[in-house]
Structure 1
Amino acid sequence: MTTSAGTKARVDAVNASATGIVEELARAKDLASLGEMFAARISPLGFLNAGYLRIFGARQFHGAKYLFGGTTPGWSERYQQQRFWVDDPVFAQCCRSTAAFTLIEVAGRSDKGIRILSESRTLGLFDGFVSPIRAGYDEVGFVLLSSATSIEPSDRERFLIHGMCETYARAGLALVPAEPEPRALTRREVECLNWVAVGRSDQQIGMILGLSANTVHGHVESAKYKLDANSRAQLVLRAVMAGIIRSDPSR
Protein backbone atom coordinates (compact mmCIF):
# COMPACT_ATOMS: atom_id res chain seq x y z
CA MET A 1 0.00 0.00 0.00
CA THR A 2 1.40 3.41 -0.95
CA THR A 3 1.77 6.18 1.58
CA SER A 4 -1.09 8.16 0.00
CA ALA A 5 -3.29 5.07 -0.03
CA GLY A 6 -2.42 4.44 3.62
CA THR A 7 -3.30 8.02 4.54
CA LYS A 8 -6.62 7.73 2.70
CA ALA A 9 -7.41 4.50 4.53
CA ARG A 10 -6.74 6.16 7.89
CA VAL A 11 -8.86 9.18 7.01
CA ASP A 12 -11.67 6.89 5.87
CA ALA A 13 -11.48 5.03 9.19
CA VAL A 14 -11.67 8.29 11.14
CA ASN A 15 -14.57 9.45 8.98
CA ALA A 16 -16.42 6.25 9.75
CA SER A 17 -15.77 6.63 13.48
CA ALA A 18 -16.87 10.27 13.51
CA THR A 19 -20.07 9.80 11.51
CA GLY A 20 -23.12 10.05 13.74
CA ILE A 21 -21.13 10.47 16.95
CA VAL A 22 -23.02 13.55 18.17
CA GLU A 23 -26.38 11.80 18.01
CA GLU A 24 -25.06 8.59 19.55
CA LEU A 25 -23.25 10.13 22.52
CA ALA A 26 -26.25 12.34 23.23
CA ARG A 27 -28.17 9.14 24.00
CA ALA A 28 -25.79 8.13 26.80
CA LYS A 29 -27.67 7.79 30.09
CA ASP A 30 -24.59 7.85 32.34
CA LEU A 31 -20.81 8.15 32.22
CA ALA A 32 -20.33 4.38 32.03
CA SER A 33 -22.45 4.04 28.89
CA LEU A 34 -20.80 7.14 27.41
CA GLY A 35 -17.38 5.56 27.94
CA GLU A 36 -18.46 2.35 26.22
CA MET A 37 -19.88 4.24 23.25
CA PHE A 38 -16.77 6.36 22.80
CA ALA A 39 -14.42 3.40 23.25
CA ALA A 40 -16.20 1.65 20.39
CA ARG A 41 -15.52 4.72 18.25
CA ILE A 42 -11.81 5.16 19.03
CA SER A 43 -10.60 1.56 19.33
CA PRO A 44 -10.70 0.99 15.52
CA LEU A 45 -8.34 3.97 15.25
CA GLY A 46 -5.76 2.29 17.48
CA PHE A 47 -6.39 4.19 20.70
CA LEU A 48 -6.34 2.28 23.98
CA ASN A 49 -8.66 4.41 26.08
CA ALA A 50 -9.96 7.93 26.60
CA GLY A 51 -10.51 10.27 29.52
CA TYR A 52 -11.35 13.86 30.31
CA LEU A 53 -8.96 15.68 32.64
CA ARG A 54 -10.23 18.81 34.34
CA ILE A 55 -7.78 21.67 34.86
CA PHE A 56 -10.26 24.26 36.08
CA GLY A 57 -13.99 24.01 36.62
CA ALA A 58 -16.78 24.42 39.16
CA ARG A 59 -14.98 27.55 40.42
CA GLN A 60 -11.76 25.81 41.41
CA PHE A 61 -8.42 24.50 40.16
CA HIS A 62 -8.10 20.73 39.84
CA GLY A 63 -4.55 20.08 38.62
CA ALA A 64 -5.46 17.88 35.62
CA LYS A 65 -7.41 15.17 37.45
CA TYR A 66 -9.59 12.69 35.60
CA LEU A 67 -13.24 13.73 35.84
CA PHE A 68 -14.42 10.78 33.75
CA GLY A 69 -12.90 8.08 31.58
CA GLY A 70 -9.37 6.91 32.25
CA THR A 71 -5.93 6.09 30.96
CA THR A 72 -3.25 3.42 31.16
CA PRO A 73 -3.48 1.68 34.58
CA GLY A 74 -1.25 3.36 37.14
CA TRP A 75 -0.47 6.49 35.14
CA SER A 76 -3.09 8.81 36.63
CA GLU A 77 -1.96 7.93 40.16
CA ARG A 78 1.72 8.45 39.34
CA TYR A 79 1.00 11.73 37.55
CA GLN A 80 -0.73 13.14 40.63
CA GLN A 81 1.65 11.67 43.21
CA GLN A 82 4.68 13.10 41.41
CA ARG A 83 2.87 16.41 40.75
CA PHE A 84 3.94 16.22 37.11
CA TRP A 85 1.33 18.80 36.15
CA VAL A 86 3.50 21.51 37.74
CA ASP A 87 6.15 21.16 35.00
CA ASP A 88 4.17 19.36 32.31
CA PRO A 89 4.33 21.25 28.97
CA VAL A 90 1.21 19.34 27.87
CA PHE A 91 -0.70 20.84 30.80
CA ALA A 92 0.61 24.32 29.98
CA GLN A 93 -0.22 23.96 26.28
CA CYS A 94 -3.82 23.03 27.09
CA CYS A 95 -4.13 26.23 29.12
CA ARG A 96 -2.69 28.37 26.32
CA SER A 97 -4.32 26.90 23.22
CA THR A 98 -7.37 25.03 21.96
CA ALA A 99 -5.55 23.36 19.05
CA ALA A 100 -5.18 19.56 19.22
CA PHE A 101 -1.72 17.97 19.38
CA THR A 102 0.05 14.73 20.23
CA LEU A 103 2.04 14.08 23.39
CA ILE A 104 5.25 13.67 21.41
CA GLU A 105 4.73 16.97 19.56
CA VAL A 106 4.63 18.98 22.79
CA ALA A 107 6.29 16.89 25.51
CA GLY A 108 9.13 15.90 23.19
CA ARG A 109 10.32 19.50 22.87
CA SER A 110 11.59 19.98 26.43
CA ASP A 111 13.68 18.09 28.96
CA LYS A 112 10.85 18.13 31.52
CA GLY A 113 8.37 16.89 28.96
CA ILE A 114 10.67 14.10 27.83
CA ARG A 115 11.14 12.99 31.44
CA ILE A 116 7.37 12.82 32.01
CA LEU A 117 6.83 11.02 28.70
CA SER A 118 9.54 8.52 29.61
CA GLU A 119 7.70 7.81 32.87
CA SER A 120 4.39 7.26 31.08
CA ARG A 121 6.02 4.86 28.63
CA THR A 122 7.11 2.56 31.43
CA LEU A 123 3.39 1.95 32.01
CA GLY A 124 2.48 1.54 28.34
CA LEU A 125 1.38 5.08 27.46
CA PHE A 126 3.77 5.72 24.56
CA ASP A 127 1.97 8.60 22.85
CA GLY A 128 -1.47 10.16 22.85
CA PHE A 129 -3.84 12.54 21.12
CA VAL A 130 -4.62 15.62 23.22
CA SER A 131 -7.71 17.72 22.63
CA PRO A 132 -7.93 20.93 24.74
CA ILE A 133 -11.47 21.71 25.89
CA ARG A 134 -13.27 24.91 26.85
CA ALA A 135 -16.88 24.73 28.01
CA GLY A 136 -19.38 26.72 30.04
CA TYR A 137 -18.32 29.66 32.16
CA ASP A 138 -15.02 28.42 33.55
CA GLU A 139 -14.41 24.85 32.33
CA VAL A 140 -10.84 24.20 31.12
CA GLY A 141 -9.53 20.70 30.51
CA PHE A 142 -8.50 18.21 27.86
CA VAL A 143 -9.34 14.81 26.45
CA LEU A 144 -6.45 12.36 26.22
CA LEU A 145 -6.62 9.39 23.86
CA SER A 146 -3.87 6.96 24.87
CA SER A 147 -1.74 5.09 22.34
CA ALA A 148 0.81 2.30 22.70
CA THR A 149 2.64 3.55 19.58
CA SER A 150 3.72 6.83 18.04
CA ILE A 151 0.92 8.63 16.18
CA GLU A 152 1.21 11.12 13.31
CA PRO A 153 -2.29 12.26 12.35
CA SER A 154 -2.83 14.14 9.11
CA ASP A 155 -4.54 17.52 9.25
CA ARG A 156 -7.86 15.92 8.27
CA GLU A 157 -7.51 13.20 10.91
CA ARG A 158 -6.55 15.76 13.53
CA PHE A 159 -9.61 17.88 12.72
CA LEU A 160 -12.02 14.94 12.90
CA ILE A 161 -10.56 13.34 16.06
CA HIS A 162 -10.52 16.71 17.78
CA GLY A 163 -14.21 17.07 16.98
CA MET A 164 -14.90 13.59 18.34
CA CYS A 165 -13.09 14.46 21.57
CA GLU A 166 -15.02 17.71 21.97
CA THR A 167 -18.29 15.79 21.53
CA TYR A 168 -17.19 13.26 24.14
CA ALA A 169 -16.13 15.96 26.61
CA ARG A 170 -19.35 17.95 26.30
CA ALA A 171 -21.51 14.85 26.59
CA GLY A 172 -19.58 13.78 29.69
CA LEU A 173 -19.70 17.19 31.34
CA ALA A 174 -23.48 17.20 30.88
CA LEU A 175 -23.66 13.91 32.80
CA VAL A 176 -21.42 14.95 35.70
CA PRO A 177 -23.49 15.80 38.80
CA ALA A 178 -23.65 19.53 39.42
CA GLU A 179 -21.39 20.89 42.15
CA PRO A 180 -23.26 22.36 45.13
CA GLU A 181 -23.30 26.15 45.19
CA PRO A 182 -20.75 27.59 47.64
CA ARG A 183 -22.14 29.09 50.82
CA ALA A 184 -22.71 32.82 50.41
CA LEU A 185 -20.11 35.13 51.92
CA THR A 186 -21.21 37.79 54.37
CA ARG A 187 -20.84 41.48 53.57
CA ARG A 188 -17.86 41.74 55.95
CA GLU A 189 -16.19 38.68 54.40
CA VAL A 190 -16.48 40.23 50.93
CA GLU A 191 -15.12 43.55 52.21
CA CYS A 192 -12.12 41.80 53.74
CA LEU A 193 -11.63 39.71 50.62
CA ASN A 194 -11.49 42.77 48.40
CA TRP A 195 -8.58 44.07 50.47
CA VAL A 196 -6.91 40.65 50.57
CA ALA A 197 -7.00 40.72 46.76
CA VAL A 198 -4.79 43.84 46.72
CA GLY A 199 -2.29 42.37 49.15
CA ARG A 200 -3.31 43.94 52.45
CA SER A 201 -2.49 42.14 55.71
CA ASP A 202 -5.05 41.40 58.44
CA GLN A 203 -3.71 44.33 60.47
CA GLN A 204 -3.90 46.75 57.54
CA ILE A 205 -7.43 45.63 56.64
CA GLY A 206 -8.44 46.06 60.28
CA MET A 207 -7.21 49.64 60.31
CA ILE A 208 -9.12 50.38 57.06
CA LEU A 209 -12.39 48.79 58.21
CA GLY A 210 -12.15 49.68 61.88
CA LEU A 211 -11.81 46.06 63.01
CA SER A 212 -9.24 44.15 65.02
CA ALA A 213 -6.69 42.05 63.14
CA ASN A 214 -8.14 38.93 64.82
CA THR A 215 -11.64 39.76 63.59
CA VAL A 216 -10.37 40.28 60.04
CA HIS A 217 -8.48 37.01 60.23
CA GLY A 218 -11.67 35.26 61.29
CA HIS A 219 -13.59 36.68 58.33
CA VAL A 220 -10.86 35.62 55.90
CA GLU A 221 -10.67 32.11 57.35
CA SER A 222 -14.46 31.80 57.16
CA ALA A 223 -14.35 32.80 53.48
CA LYS A 224 -11.59 30.24 52.83
CA TYR A 225 -13.73 27.53 54.40
CA LYS A 226 -16.81 28.47 52.37
CA LEU A 227 -14.89 28.54 49.07
CA ASP A 228 -12.76 25.50 49.93
CA ALA A 229 -9.51 27.45 49.56
CA ASN A 230 -6.19 26.47 51.14
CA SER A 231 -4.47 29.85 50.90
CA ARG A 232 -5.25 33.54 50.51
CA ALA A 233 -4.11 33.45 46.88
CA GLN A 234 -6.39 30.51 46.11
CA LEU A 235 -9.22 32.25 47.95
CA VAL A 236 -8.89 35.33 45.74
CA LEU A 237 -8.75 33.22 42.57
CA ARG A 238 -11.89 31.29 43.48
CA ALA A 239 -13.72 34.46 44.49
CA VAL A 240 -12.89 36.05 41.13
CA MET A 241 -13.97 32.95 39.18
CA ALA A 242 -17.23 32.83 41.17
CA GLY A 243 -17.89 36.49 40.42
CA ILE A 244 -17.77 37.49 44.09
CA ILE A 245 -15.05 40.10 43.55
CA ARG A 246 -13.58 41.77 40.48
CA SER A 247 -10.31 40.65 38.94
CA ASP A 248 -9.20 44.27 39.37
CA PRO A 249 -10.56 45.37 42.77
CA SER A 250 -9.44 48.96 42.14
CA ARG A 251 -12.18 49.44 39.52
Structure 2
Amino acid sequence: MKKRLDDLIDVLSLSNDERSARTALLTFAQQCGFERFAYMNVRSGDTEAFTNYPQEWQEIYFANDYQKVDPVITAAKRLLKPFYWSASPLRWTASPEERRFYEHARQFGIVSGLSMPIRIEFGRIAVLTLASHLPDFKVDGMIDDIRATTATALVHATLKVSDPSTMKKPQVSLTVREKECLNWAALGKSMSLTADILGIKKNTVRYYLDAAKRKLGAYNTMNAVYLATRLGLV
Protein backbone atom coordinates (compact mmCIF):
# COMPACT_ATOMS: atom_id res chain seq x y z
CA MET A 1 0.00 0.00 0.00
CA LYS A 2 2.87 2.37 0.74
CA LYS A 3 4.25 1.92 -2.78
CA ARG A 4 0.82 2.58 -4.31
CA LEU A 5 0.40 5.75 -2.26
CA ASP A 6 3.90 6.87 -3.25
CA ASP A 7 3.05 6.28 -6.92
CA LEU A 8 -0.19 8.26 -6.57
CA ILE A 9 1.68 11.13 -4.92
CA ASP A 10 4.24 11.16 -7.74
CA VAL A 11 1.60 11.16 -10.47
CA LEU A 12 -0.54 13.82 -8.79
CA SER A 13 2.48 16.09 -8.37
CA LEU A 14 2.66 16.20 -12.19
CA SER A 15 -1.10 16.50 -12.75
CA ASN A 16 -2.66 19.86 -13.53
CA ASP A 17 -5.99 19.03 -15.14
CA GLU A 18 -9.20 17.10 -14.59
CA ARG A 19 -8.38 14.26 -16.98
CA SER A 20 -4.99 13.40 -15.46
CA ALA A 21 -6.41 13.56 -11.92
CA ARG A 22 -9.28 11.23 -12.87
CA THR A 23 -6.88 8.76 -14.53
CA ALA A 24 -4.53 8.81 -11.53
CA LEU A 25 -7.34 8.16 -9.05
CA LEU A 26 -8.94 5.40 -11.09
CA THR A 27 -5.57 3.66 -11.54
CA PHE A 28 -4.84 3.94 -7.83
CA ALA A 29 -8.27 2.56 -6.87
CA GLN A 30 -7.97 -0.40 -9.23
CA GLN A 31 -4.41 -1.22 -8.13
CA CYS A 32 -5.71 -1.37 -4.55
CA GLY A 33 -8.54 -3.71 -5.57
CA PHE A 34 -11.38 -1.17 -5.49
CA GLU A 35 -13.73 -0.30 -8.34
CA ARG A 36 -14.69 3.25 -7.40
CA PHE A 37 -13.14 6.45 -6.07
CA ALA A 38 -14.65 9.63 -4.68
CA TYR A 39 -13.09 12.91 -3.61
CA MET A 40 -15.42 15.05 -1.48
CA ASN A 41 -14.93 18.60 -0.29
CA VAL A 42 -17.30 19.07 2.63
CA ARG A 43 -18.72 21.64 4.99
CA SER A 44 -22.36 21.79 6.02
CA GLY A 45 -24.60 22.37 2.98
CA ASP A 46 -21.64 23.24 0.78
CA THR A 47 -20.43 19.87 -0.52
CA GLU A 48 -18.72 18.98 -3.80
CA ALA A 49 -17.70 15.62 -5.25
CA PHE A 50 -15.32 14.41 -7.97
CA THR A 51 -15.90 10.71 -8.55
CA ASN A 52 -16.46 7.80 -10.91
CA TYR A 53 -19.51 6.67 -8.94
CA PRO A 54 -22.48 6.01 -11.27
CA GLN A 55 -24.11 9.25 -12.40
CA GLU A 56 -27.50 8.07 -11.14
CA TRP A 57 -26.07 7.53 -7.64
CA GLN A 58 -24.49 10.99 -7.64
CA GLU A 59 -27.85 12.54 -8.48
CA ILE A 60 -29.64 10.49 -5.82
CA TYR A 61 -26.98 11.34 -3.24
CA PHE A 62 -27.39 15.09 -3.57
CA ALA A 63 -31.14 15.05 -4.26
CA ASN A 64 -31.63 13.26 -0.92
CA ASP A 65 -29.08 15.41 0.96
CA TYR A 66 -27.23 12.21 1.84
CA GLN A 67 -24.09 14.21 2.64
CA LYS A 68 -25.90 15.17 5.86
CA VAL A 69 -26.44 11.54 7.00
CA ASP A 70 -23.59 9.72 5.23
CA PRO A 71 -21.82 7.77 8.04
CA VAL A 72 -18.53 7.90 6.13
CA ILE A 73 -18.58 11.71 6.10
CA THR A 74 -19.56 11.76 9.78
CA ALA A 75 -16.66 9.45 10.67
CA ALA A 76 -14.25 11.44 8.49
CA LYS A 77 -15.05 14.64 10.38
CA ARG A 78 -14.56 12.91 13.72
CA LEU A 79 -11.43 10.87 13.00
CA LEU A 80 -9.42 12.93 10.50
CA LYS A 81 -7.26 9.90 9.73
CA PRO A 82 -7.56 6.91 7.35
CA PHE A 83 -10.25 4.38 8.24
CA TYR A 84 -12.10 1.42 6.74
CA TRP A 85 -15.89 1.30 6.66
CA SER A 86 -18.56 -1.19 5.69
CA ALA A 87 -22.31 -0.95 5.33
CA SER A 88 -22.88 -4.64 6.01
CA PRO A 89 -22.54 -4.85 9.82
CA LEU A 90 -23.78 -1.35 10.53
CA ARG A 91 -26.92 -0.73 8.58
CA TRP A 92 -29.24 -2.75 10.83
CA THR A 93 -28.25 -0.74 13.92
CA ALA A 94 -28.30 2.59 12.10
CA SER A 95 -31.00 5.24 12.08
CA PRO A 96 -33.81 4.97 9.51
CA GLU A 97 -32.09 7.67 7.42
CA GLU A 98 -28.76 5.83 7.51
CA ARG A 99 -30.41 2.50 6.64
CA ARG A 100 -32.05 4.16 3.66
CA PHE A 101 -28.65 5.53 2.65
CA TYR A 102 -26.96 2.12 3.00
CA GLU A 103 -29.65 0.39 0.98
CA HIS A 104 -29.40 2.94 -1.79
CA ALA A 105 -25.61 2.75 -1.86
CA ARG A 106 -25.68 -1.04 -2.01
CA GLN A 107 -27.82 -0.88 -5.15
CA PHE A 108 -24.94 0.88 -6.89
CA GLY A 109 -22.21 -1.48 -5.67
CA ILE A 110 -20.96 0.70 -2.83
CA VAL A 111 -20.68 -1.62 0.16
CA SER A 112 -17.28 -1.13 1.83
CA GLY A 113 -14.25 1.05 1.45
CA LEU A 114 -11.28 3.04 2.67
CA SER A 115 -11.50 6.78 3.38
CA MET A 116 -8.62 9.21 3.91
CA PRO A 117 -9.77 12.61 5.28
CA ILE A 118 -7.83 15.80 5.95
CA ARG A 119 -8.75 19.21 7.29
CA ILE A 120 -8.53 21.99 4.72
CA GLU A 121 -9.27 25.71 4.66
CA PHE A 122 -12.05 27.47 6.59
CA GLY A 123 -13.20 24.48 8.61
CA ARG A 124 -13.79 22.26 5.58
CA ILE A 125 -12.62 18.68 5.17
CA ALA A 126 -11.49 16.83 2.05
CA VAL A 127 -12.02 13.07 1.86
CA LEU A 128 -10.55 10.63 -0.63
CA THR A 129 -12.56 7.40 -0.62
CA LEU A 130 -12.04 4.08 -2.40
CA ALA A 131 -15.14 1.88 -2.59
CA SER A 132 -15.83 -1.81 -3.28
CA HIS A 133 -18.90 -3.93 -3.95
CA LEU A 134 -17.48 -6.56 -1.58
CA PRO A 135 -18.34 -6.61 2.14
CA ASP A 136 -15.50 -5.60 4.50
CA PHE A 137 -12.90 -5.33 1.73
CA LYS A 138 -9.42 -4.22 2.88
CA VAL A 139 -6.09 -3.81 1.13
CA ASP A 140 -2.93 -5.69 2.05
CA GLY A 141 -0.59 -3.88 4.42
CA MET A 142 -0.91 -1.02 6.87
CA ILE A 143 -2.11 2.42 5.77
CA ASP A 144 0.61 5.01 6.28
CA ASP A 145 -1.13 8.08 7.72
CA ILE A 146 1.42 10.58 6.40
CA ARG A 147 1.34 9.20 2.87
CA ALA A 148 -2.46 9.05 2.90
CA THR A 149 -2.66 12.66 4.11
CA THR A 150 -0.21 13.80 1.44
CA ALA A 151 -2.12 12.00 -1.30
CA THR A 152 -5.47 13.51 -0.29
CA ALA A 153 -3.89 16.96 -0.01
CA LEU A 154 -2.49 16.65 -3.55
CA VAL A 155 -5.88 15.56 -4.90
CA HIS A 156 -7.41 18.62 -3.24
CA ALA A 157 -4.73 20.96 -4.61
CA THR A 158 -4.97 19.54 -8.14
CA LEU A 159 -8.76 19.83 -8.31
CA LYS A 160 -8.74 23.29 -6.75
CA VAL A 161 -6.43 24.53 -9.50
CA SER A 162 -8.08 22.70 -12.39
CA ASP A 163 -11.67 23.45 -11.22
CA PRO A 164 -13.12 20.46 -13.07
CA SER A 165 -16.40 20.90 -14.91
CA THR A 166 -17.53 17.49 -13.65
CA MET A 167 -17.32 18.47 -9.98
CA LYS A 168 -20.77 17.56 -8.70
CA LYS A 169 -22.47 20.08 -6.40
CA PRO A 170 -25.78 19.91 -4.56
CA GLN A 171 -28.65 21.61 -6.35
CA VAL A 172 -29.89 24.60 -4.36
CA SER A 173 -32.58 26.96 -5.66
CA LEU A 174 -33.17 30.39 -4.12
CA THR A 175 -36.11 32.65 -4.85
CA VAL A 176 -35.61 36.15 -6.25
CA ARG A 177 -36.39 37.70 -2.86
CA GLU A 178 -33.98 35.35 -1.04
CA LYS A 179 -31.21 36.35 -3.47
CA GLU A 180 -32.02 40.04 -3.07
CA CYS A 181 -31.87 39.84 0.71
CA LEU A 182 -28.56 37.95 0.58
CA ASN A 183 -27.11 40.46 -1.88
CA TRP A 184 -27.97 43.39 0.38
CA ALA A 185 -26.61 41.49 3.39
CA ALA A 186 -23.36 40.96 1.44
CA LEU A 187 -23.13 44.76 1.08
CA GLY A 188 -23.42 45.14 4.84
CA LYS A 189 -27.04 46.28 4.94
CA SER A 190 -29.02 45.49 8.08
CA MET A 191 -32.42 43.82 7.88
CA SER A 192 -34.06 47.18 8.59
CA LEU A 193 -32.21 48.90 5.73
CA THR A 194 -32.89 45.98 3.40
CA ALA A 195 -36.57 46.18 4.28
CA ASP A 196 -36.61 49.93 3.41
CA ILE A 197 -34.80 49.32 0.12
CA LEU A 198 -37.13 46.52 -0.95
CA GLY A 199 -40.27 48.13 0.41
CA ILE A 200 -41.13 45.22 2.69
CA LYS A 201 -41.23 44.61 6.44
CA LYS A 202 -38.18 43.74 8.54
CA ASN A 203 -39.79 40.45 9.62
CA THR A 204 -40.29 39.57 5.95
CA VAL A 205 -36.57 40.12 5.29
CA ARG A 206 -35.81 37.88 8.27
CA TYR A 207 -38.13 35.23 6.80
CA TYR A 208 -36.31 35.27 3.44
CA LEU A 209 -32.86 35.16 5.05
CA ASP A 210 -33.89 32.28 7.32
CA ALA A 211 -35.24 30.38 4.30
CA ALA A 212 -32.00 30.93 2.40
CA LYS A 213 -29.90 29.78 5.39
CA ARG A 214 -32.01 26.65 5.73
CA LYS A 215 -31.67 25.77 2.03
CA LEU A 216 -27.91 26.37 2.07
CA GLY A 217 -27.26 24.68 5.40
CA ALA A 218 -25.70 27.90 6.70
CA TYR A 219 -25.24 28.72 10.38
CA ASN A 220 -25.61 32.52 10.00
CA THR A 221 -26.30 35.14 7.34
CA MET A 222 -22.67 35.77 6.39
CA ASN A 223 -22.11 32.05 6.00
CA ALA A 224 -25.19 31.94 3.75
CA VAL A 225 -23.73 34.75 1.63
CA TYR A 226 -20.46 32.84 1.33
CA LEU A 227 -22.15 29.57 0.37
CA ALA A 228 -24.50 31.23 -2.12
CA THR A 229 -21.57 33.03 -3.73
CA ARG A 230 -19.53 29.83 -3.91
CA LEU A 231 -22.44 28.06 -5.64
CA GLY A 232 -22.91 30.96 -8.06
CA LEU A 233 -26.38 31.79 -6.75
CA VAL A 234 -25.71 35.46 -5.97
TM-score, normalised relative to structure 2 = 0.65
The alignment-based identity, stated in percent, is: 13
Q: Which has the higher contact order (CA 8 A, sep 6+)?
A: 2
- Displacement of 1:47 in angstroms is 1.5
Q: Does the 8 Å contact 1:132/1:143 carry over to 2?
A: yes
RMSD after superposition: 3.9
Partner of 1:127: 112
Aligned match of 2:222 in 239, 242, 246? 239
Residue-by-residue CA offset, 1:138-167 (whole Å, 9 max, x unaligned): 433422212122323577226344543343
Q: Does the 8 Å contact 1:49/1:71 carry over to 2?
A: yes
Structure 2: state its 5+ residue gaps. 165-181, 227-234
Farther-moved stretch of structure 1 (168-177 vs 211-220) = 211-220
Residue-by-residue CA offset, 1:12-38 (whole Å, 9 max, x unaligned): xx1221224334212213111111122
Farther-moved stretch of structure 1 (69-78 vs 45-54) = 69-78
Taking the aligned partners of 1:148 and 1:137, their CA distance within structure 2 comes to 34
Letter in 2 for 1:146: A
Aligned match of 1:89 in 71, 92, 103? 71
Partner of 2:101: 116
- Displacement of 1:46 in angstroms is 0.5
Q: How many residues align?
A: 200
Partner of 1:43: 30
Partner of 1:61: 45
Q: Does the 8 Å contact 1:52/1:141 carry over to 2?
A: yes
CA 1:137–1:103 in structure 2 vs 1: closer, same or farther (change >3 Å)?
A: same
CA 1:218–1:116 in structure 2 vs 1: closer, same or farther (change >3 Å)?
A: closer
Q: Does the 8 Å contact 2:212/2:224 carry over to 1?
A: no
CA 1:131–1:15 in structure 2 vs 1: closer, same or farther (change >3 Å)?
A: closer
Q: Does the 8 Å contact 1:72/1:123 carry over to 2?
A: yes
- SS of the residue corresponding to residue 220 of structure 2 reads helix
Aligned match of 2:159 in 169, 172, 194? 172
Aligned match of 1:142 in 110, 127, 136? 127
- Displacement of 1:96 in angstroms is 2.9
Taking the aligned partners of 2:100 and 2:198, their CA distance within structure 1 comes to 50
Letter in 1 for 2:86: I
Taking the aligned partners of 1:136 and 1:115, their CA distance within structure 2 comes to 31
Taking the aligned partners of 2:212 and 2:38, their CA distance within structure 1 comes to 30
Taking the aligned partners of 1:156 and 1:72, their CA distance within structure 2 comes to 29
Taking the aligned partners of 1:27 and 1:238, their CA distance within structure 2 comes to 40
- SS of the residue corresponding to residue 21 of structure 2 reads helix
Taking the aligned partners of 1:118 and 1:33, their CA distance within structure 2 comes to 32
CA 1:218–1:82 in structure 2 vs 1: closer, same or farther (change >3 Å)?
A: closer
Taking the aligned partners of 2:88 and 2:75, their CA distance within structure 1 comes to 8
Q: Does the 8 Å contact 1:39/1:49 carry over to 2?
A: yes
Residue-by-residue CA offset, 1:73-108 (whole Å, 9 max, x unaligned): 532222223333333322322333312222318982
Taking the aligned partners of 1:96 and 1:213, their CA distance within structure 2 comes to 46
Q: Does the 8 Å contact 2:39/2:51 carry over to 1?
A: yes
Letter in 2 for 1:186: L
Taking the aligned partners of 1:210 and 1:81, their CA distance within structure 2 comes to 36
Taking the aligned partners of 1:133 and 1:43, their CA distance within structure 2 comes to 22
Q: Does the 8 Å contact 2:116/2:129 carry over to 1?
A: yes
Letter in 2 for 1:89: P
